[in-house]
Amino acid sequence: MFFIDLGSPIFSSIQESLSLAFNGYGLKRSFQKPKSNETNITLIETIFTKSPCPISVNYCQNKTRIILQSEQYQSHHFIKSSLSKCHPSPNCIIFEFSDHNFRYLKEEKKWGDSIVLLPIMHQFPSRLPKRDSMHNLKPLSQRMHDIVFLVQ
């Protein structure tokens, strides 16, 4: 089971797309906001998420969660500290769509064990040259990671 709430209605189509993707990975969506003591629901979060159990709260740090859009977390100190709490947590992983961001988090932050690279998560193909224009992206067939399965 997973829970996602991106907050603003402007993100509803993105929320639906993400929900379909996680359904494809075998997770079923919970539409009811979980209580902070529920342990069987994975939280899917971004900087815009209204988390029912924020990672910045001590008793929530071991809550199972998947963090998306790491580049947005890198821009503010408060947000950086939230992202940095994901790496030592045994139940938190970062889903990354950019080879560039993956390399930064792996090499500069040494968080490689906490990241899953999903290069197909680009929302719009037109953003690819803007996002990774300085780097030659490998074709999907030549990448080390292509899919992840979460088992609960």
Per-residue 3-state assignment (H helix, E strand, C coil) for 99-152: HHHHHHHHHHCCCHHHEEECHHHCCCHHHHHHHHCCCCCCCHHHCCCCCCCCCC
Residue type, 52: P
Q: Per the confidence metrics, is the pTM higher than 0.85?
A: no
For residue 148, give the nearest of 49, 68, 45, 82 by alpha carbon. 68
Would you say residue 148 lies in a domain? Answer: no
| Full domain range(s) for residue 43 | 2-142
Work out the average pLDDT over 8-12: 82
d(CA 141, CA 35): 41
Strands 92-96 and 115-117: parallel
pLDDT digits (tens, 9 = 90+) for 100-148: 778 888 888 888 888 888 766 544 444 555 555 555 666 666 766 555 5
**Is the pLDDT higher at 13 or at 141?**
13
Would you say residue 150 lies in a domain? Answer: no
Would you say residue 149 lies in a domain? Answer: no
Coil, helix or strand at residue 97? coil
Least confidently predicted of 30-39, 69-78, 83-92, 120-129 = 120-129
Would you say residue 68 lies in a domain? Answer: yes
Would you say residue 151 lies in a domain? Answer: no
The domain total for the chain is 1
